[in-house]
A and B are shown apart, each in its own frame.
Chain A
């Protein structure tokens, strides 16, 4: 009973906290637990961008940003606790950075009227805004990613890959199974042979899978991995001397963390990218000046410009832009989550906008609409340069094969709508 009382008192303090004058943005971070090495730069990128907006511009149109950080440890139960404890603070948008948590939050945010943004993860069919009113997954999703990888292979082979062998090494979970259907559909279309190699969590031991790859000699290997599985897979690929330029990971398998343990052997490894890489942008000078040098950085400052840091920053940037759009639509700077949703739905990202922000060519151009919450499905391919120690984009942003992806999204979202009795909006 003692504990309950103490928490009651605390919860009261939290609930009676600051009035909702500031714009609250949540950062559901995981700086601990099995995925901490990925969670730290993701969270730092978001927090630093919000800090920059506060320090340099004095907030968004004069409204200060309040960052509500909550540690989930990549644990769905803690995620629920975090969501419930922070939503009372008027959080405008959630980015849980975990597919499991995203699935749990989808019904909850829909009931509470708070938008959820899952950038490059989460439920793919949430792209259908008619069914998923409060969920956004722009600029691209897993099925787009599968298509990007195949497009890239097509590109390299001059447009003909019939008879080629493609293997998919995937984390044996909901996340890892996402691309299978799309890859199968694409295999029908392009005539390649697909083989599937699941790796069980956590993925420290992958000898069987890579021996099989060595025996069957696929021309290309795709990977949907996360955490330690990435490092081991890249190491094993190097061990069997699989040509790294034929090894393509999803954007969650393409950070410095994943390739560095393998050292020089990882040189040439490719990963899909949702946004540009490195720190060679005007905005990063401001970031250095107002945040890092001012001692206000969320992390140690050495992660700035890494792939996942940039992803966090990109997420925060999109949220801030959506908030600006919402302010324009509703003509007020004190926006609510419902207004934020409208802003996200009307979000337009183009080159002028990104250049004005000091991030020229940082992400693909896309438009969100009521029917389409997932952007236009553009993505690029990046490649690891071990000598320089950085990923670099090696292609332009290309659009995924909408002919294949869109019907799948319609089918899955229709099934969800039927199962849950949702009438489609718009």
Chain B
């Protein structure tokens, strides 16, 4: 194979892996949008909050230490224990479920039947609140997250491809793990949605709130459940991205990476999020590889959006979005 093609293949593979990471974030959006029509802007901040909580629990940090110290003049920072990763993940999940319950009870129950843009606005308020709350609770310094995921080049792939193409491909171990986790997550979600009672109830709610209500499904329960699942997805995304860059404020910006994925895949489709993620990941990486050097690079941010935009012009509801039927 000519050299450029080999390089392009490597970029392509890495694009796929990056796409999976984008899709992980997008999944959280899709779940909530599907079940309640809320475009949850706070998904990125939720990922940050989940990751912060996870690190905080693992390191035995005292929550609100800074606030307590400022008010009472004490000097407490750590409990002095370390919690193993798995236990911490479970504890974090408990907190995310509690958060889901609070969010639903205090905010969205009061906003039932409002226009989408109002709901969207409420999630922005939530994002603001969580941003401040997360910082007050755990401090705003950068934290290292290590739950034992492997990182760095995968040597096996490097050697194998070197033997074939005379050029070793670079694939990050973390990306491989992310791909496996994302695949498992999607399978689990599909099984949950298709074969369990709650899952079917969730789909019923997504189809029609009132019809679901009239056959005895508790909307409240379903919404709390969906927000909890989205919280779980946020936690997974937070772990993946947090392992890469440390847990810090910028983690909340990964939501921006998910938006073009959503556009492309459709707001209501779980497979759409995955396929959209892959298309965006590969598209932006290949564009940066082929065209980037000609126009000065750093094209990835806007190219993802332009790609999605061009796509939407031809298919306004996204790749797997429900066909928009308009009646007067």
Residues of A within 8 A of B (CB): 31-37, 40, 172, 196-200, 202, 204-205, 207-209, 211-212, 214-215, 227-228, 231-232, 235, 238-241, 257, 260-261, 263, 265, 295, 300, 302
Contacts and interface: CB of A to CB of B under 8 A. Distances in A.
Nearest to B299: A200
Interface string B248-280: 111101100100000000000000000000000
Interface centre among B151, B241, B250 (most CB of A within 10 A): B250
B170 A32 contact: no
A208 B144 contact: no
Nearest to A208: B288
A33 B292 CA distance: 30
A228 B298 CA distance: 16
Given A207-B18, A231-B245, A261-B246, A196 B152 contact: no
Nearest to B140: A36
Given A36-B249, A202-B250, A263-B144, A300 B77 contact: yes
B7 interface: yes
A162 B53 CA distance: 51
B189 to A, nearest CB: 25
A208 B141 CA distance: 28
Contacts of A228: 245-246, 248, 250
A32 B135 contact: yes
Closest A-B pairs by Cβ, 9 of them: A261-B246, A37-B142, A36-B140, A228-B250, A198-B298, A200-B298, A208-B288, A172-B298, A198-B297
Contacts of B246: 228, 231, 257, 260-261
A235 B151 contact: yes
Contact of A208 (B152, B241, B253, B300): B300
B11 interface: yes
Given A196-B297, A241-B152, 4 more contacts: A36-B248, A205-B300, A207-B285, A231-B248
A212 B14 CA distance: 12
Given A231-B142, A300-B77, A204 B254 contact: yes
Nearest to B173: A239
Nearest to A40: B141
Contacts, number: 108
B250 A240 contact: no
B263 to A, nearest CB: 18
A204 B241 contact: yes
B113 interface: no
Nearest to A38: B142
Nearest to A36: B140
Contact of A239 (B7, B18, B172, B248): B172
Contact of A238 (B152, B245, B251, B253): B152
Contacts of A261: 142, 144-145, 245-246
Interface residues of B, number: 40
A294 to B, nearest CB: 12
Nearest to B141: A37
Nearest to B142: A37
11 contacts: A32-B140, A197-B297, A200-B300, A204-B253, A214-B170, A231-B246, A239-B153, A240-B153, A241-B152, A241-B153, A261-B145
Contacts of A257: 141-142, 246
B26 to A, nearest CB: 14
B140 A235 contact: no
Contacts of B140: 31-32, 36-37, 40
Nearest to B247: A261
B170 to A, nearest CB: 6
A34 B250 contact: yes
A196 B297 CA distance: 9
B75 interface: yes
Contacts of A215: 7
Contact of B301 (A200, A209, A235, A260): A200
A200 B10 CA distance: 22
Contacts of B241: 204
A263 B141 CA distance: 17
B7 to A, nearest CB: 6
Interface string B1-21: 000000100110010001000
Contacts of B248: 34, 36-37, 228, 231
A235 B243 CA distance: 10
A202 B298 contact: no
A204 B300 contact: no
A288 to B, nearest CB: 15
A204 B146 CA distance: 18
Given A36-B140, A211-B14, A204 B245 contact: yes
B289 interface: yes
Interface string B37-73: 0000000000000000000000000000000000001
Contacts of B301: 200
B148 interface: no
A208 B292 contact: yes
Contacts of A265: 151-152
Interface in B123-145: 135, 140-142, 144-145
Contacts of B254: 204
Contact of A36 (B14, B141, B251): B141
B257 A205 contact: yes
A239 to B, nearest CB: 5
A205 B18 contact: yes
A235 B245 contact: yes
A240 B11 CA distance: 14
B296 interface: yes
B49 to A, nearest CB: 15
A33 B14 CA distance: 30
Interface string B136-174: 000011101110000111000000000000000010100
B244 interface: yes
A212 B244 CA distance: 19
Contacts of B244: 204, 232, 235
